[in-house]
Copies of this chain bind each other. A is one copy, B any other.
Amino acid sequence: MLELDRFACDYHYEHDHDHDSNCRMTAELWDRETFVEQLRAIGMRAYHDKHPFHIAMNEGQLVPGALRGWVANRFYYQGNIPIKDAAILGNCPVREVRQAWIHRILDHDGASSGAIESAVLSGESAAPHAPGTARATANEGGIEAWLRLGEACGLSHDELLNNRHLLPGVRFAVDAYVNFARTQPWPIAIASSLTELFAPDLMTARLAAFEKFYQWIDPRGLDYFRRRLTQARRDSDEALGITLEYCNTPELQREAVRALEFKCDVLWSMLDAIHHAYGSLETAAC
């Protein structure tokens, strides 16, 4: 309880502080370092690596049914990421930002040969590829990699693609995230993606946990986590750079921090629903 009270106090302190600042119109522009600190503080406090379900997962306490439940439900999140990122692109009038952001959609959806040709040849006449130039074949994206994780856990493509295990709370949280990206100013929507700042550490711990505790999962199913180690670092660097540049008023800076808090709530809320549905399947082992 003490812990909870302290959390509530911190939380309200920050909100009251903002509220006072806004009333007195004296909110100051944070320097770069302070802004980054404020963003990192959200992750320290609210990122879902601290959720009991995640802790149990990384400590090897989940039975196969619970892990499958997580994989199946998280697929709805994975499947909506490119839609969320396209919504951001569709609200962004800055071409340089769109050029920097679009690879996220390709990373998750995978690239068809048409997209590869456009990226590589971009507007040149459609000459046939010489041998040794870009492979004009479809390239696997994160969604496909997650489907393979599902297979490795014993979940069919149909179960994932048709959301057969999707919990209402997970759907609501993910839909809220997509809706946020559609309706918020694009720099704020980009700030909300900054949970990626905290992802590589969690991904490293998760990979180690899966390899140690869940050896019933075919290790080839873990490719998604491996690729995200690199991608999340690159992506969060990009997103942080854009946030620092375009959230350039005291109001936008504070809005960006709240956006990241919102995104932590999305991830946390997904785990709440999953924990409720599958938590009783945890093993008694520590």
A: residues with CB less than 8 A from B are 79, 82-84, 86-93, 95, 98-100, 102-107, 109-112, 114-126, 132-135, 138-143, 145, 181-182, 223, 227, 230-231, 234, 238
Q: Which residues of B contact A93 (CB under 8 A)?
A: 79, 83
Can you report 23 residue pairs joining A to B where beta carbons are below 8 Å apart? A82-B95, A82-B98, A83-B91, A86-B87, A86-B98, A90-B182, A95-B109, A95-B110, A98-B105, A100-B114, A103-B119, A106-B119, A106-B122, A107-B118, A107-B123, A120-B135, A122-B139, A122-B140, A122-B141, A123-B141, A123-B145, A123-B231, A126-B234
- Taking a contact as CB atoms closer than 8 A, the residue among B91, B98, B145 that contacts A109 in the complex is B98
Give the most central of A103, A115, A141: most B CB within 10 Å.
A115
Residue contact A227 to B132, C-beta cutoff 8 Å: no
Instruction: Considering the complex, give the chain B residue whose CB is closest to the CB of A235.
Output: B114
Residue contact A123 to B103, C-beta cutoff 8 Å: no
CB proximity of A149 to chain B, nearest CB, Å: 13
Instruction: Considering the complex, give the chain B residue whose CB is closest to the CB of A99.
Output: B112
CA distance A227 to B121 in the complex (A): 11
CB proximity of A41 to chain B, nearest CB, Å: 29
Q: Which residues of B contact A90 (CB under 8 A)?
A: 83-84, 86-90, 181-182
Q: Which residues of B contact A143 (CB under 8 A)?
A: 95
CA distance A121 to B107 in the complex (A): 9
CA distance A92 to B111 in the complex (A): 16
CB proximity of A205 to chain B, nearest CB, Å: 20
